[in-house]
Amino acid sequence: MSEELLTRLDRDGFATTGRLLSDEDCAALIATWQEPAQFRSRITMARHGFGQGEYRYFANPLPDRVTSLRESWYAQLAPAANRWAETLGLDQQFEATHAAFRARCHANEQRRPTPLLLRYTQGDYNRLHQDLYGTVYFPFQLVILLSQPTKDFDGGEFVLTERLARMQTRVDVVPLQKGDGVIFATRERPVPSARGSSRAEFRHGVSRIRGGERFTLGVVFHDAA
Ligand SMILES: O=C(O)CCC(=O)C(=O)O
Ligand SMILES: [Fe+2]
C-alpha cells in the first residue's frame, strides 16, 4: 500500500485502491452466486429494511482470492487502525496479522465469516449503514466493484457520508470501475479540530440502480456474532 493511499485515507476517511481484481477474478466471484454451498446465509434486503437487492455471506472456507485480500489488506491497514484508535482516544489495539485479530473476534464469540457478495438489479439500492457485528470491529473495510458501470449497469453509485457533531452531513460519491476497490472508515474517523481531533461518523450505501445488474464483493475484516 502506498504512502499516497494512506495520505488520502487520513485526509478523506476513504481511498480508492485502483484495480484489485482482474476480469477473470470478477467473473469467478460472480459465478459463485449460483453455488449455494459457497454461502452461509442469504439476505433479502427489503425484508430487513436495508434497501432492495440481495446479499450472501460466504461460508468457510472462503474463496482463496477473498482470503488473500482479507489477510493482505488487514496487515497493511493495521498500523493506520492503531494510529486512528490512538487519535480517537479509543482503547483498541489491533494485532499485526489477520489470524491474530480473528482469534480475538472468535474469543469474543464472533465466529461467523463476514465477506459477502451483493447483487442489485433495476430499482435496487443499499441504504446508508455501518457493518458492525459485535463489539470487536476493524475500523476499515474494503468493497470491490465486480461489474462495469455503463456497460453492465447504470446508476448504482457507491456513496459515503460523514457527519461531525453539530454539523450537517457531507456525501461523497466514489467513482469505481470494474475490479476497483475502495477502503473506507467502518464506523468513524478522526478529523483535525481546534481541540486536537474530533470524531466523524461514517456510513456507506449504494444509490438506486437504474438498469442492468451490479455485483460487489464486500470484505469486512471482523467476523460476526
Ligand atoms: O454494494 C456496495 O457497493 C456496498 C457493499 C456494502 O455495503 C458492503 O460490502 O459492506
Ligand atoms: Fe456495507
Contacting residues for 87 by C-beta, under 8 A, at least 6 apart: 190, 197
- Name the grid cell of 32: 459463485
The 3 state secondary structure assigned to 34-53 is: HCHHHEEEEEEHHHHCCEEC
Query: How much is the pTM?
Result: 0.98
For position 1, what pLDDT does the model report? 83
- Residue 194 Cα to ligand 1 middle (Å): 33
Average pLDDT of the chain, as a whole number: 97
Question: Domain 3-219 class?
Answer: mainly beta
Is residue 45 lining ligand 1, measured as CB closer than 6 Å? Answer: no
Q: What is the pLDDT of residues 86-102, one digit of tens each?
A: 999 999 999 999 999 99
Nearest protein CA to atom 3 of ligand 1, as residue: 158
Q: What is the pLDDT of residues 89-136, one digit of tens each?
A: 999 999 999 999 999 999 999 999 999 999 999 999 999 999 999 999
Nearest protein CA to atom 10 of ligand 1, as residue: 218
For position 53, what pLDDT does the model report? 98
Which ligand has the nearest atom to the CA of 57? Answer: 1
Provide ipTM, 2 decimals: 0.99
- Residue 4 Cα to ligand 1 middle (Å): 24
**In this model, does residue 163 exceed pLDDT 90?**
yes
- CA-to-CA distance for 172 and 186, rounded, in angstroms? 15
Q: Helices 64-88 and 3-12 sit at what angle, rounded to 10 degrees? A: 60
For position 194, what pLDDT does the model report? 86
**In this model, does residue 22 exceed pLDDT 90?**
yes
Is residue 147 lining ligand 1, measured as CB closer than 6 Å? Answer: no
Is residue 222 lining ligand 1, measured as CB closer than 6 Å? Answer: no
Which ligand has the nearest atom to the CA of 156? Answer: 1
Is residue 216 lining ligand 1, measured as CB closer than 6 Å? Answer: yes
HSE-up of 162 (CA within 13 Å, CB side)?
16
Pocket test for ligand 1, best of 20, 30, 56, 118 (most atoms within 8 A of CB): 118
For position 146, what pLDDT does the model report? 98
DSSP-assigned letter for residue 122: T
Which ligand has the nearest atom to the CA of 220? Answer: 1
- CA-to-CA distance for 120 and 92, rounded, in angstroms? 35
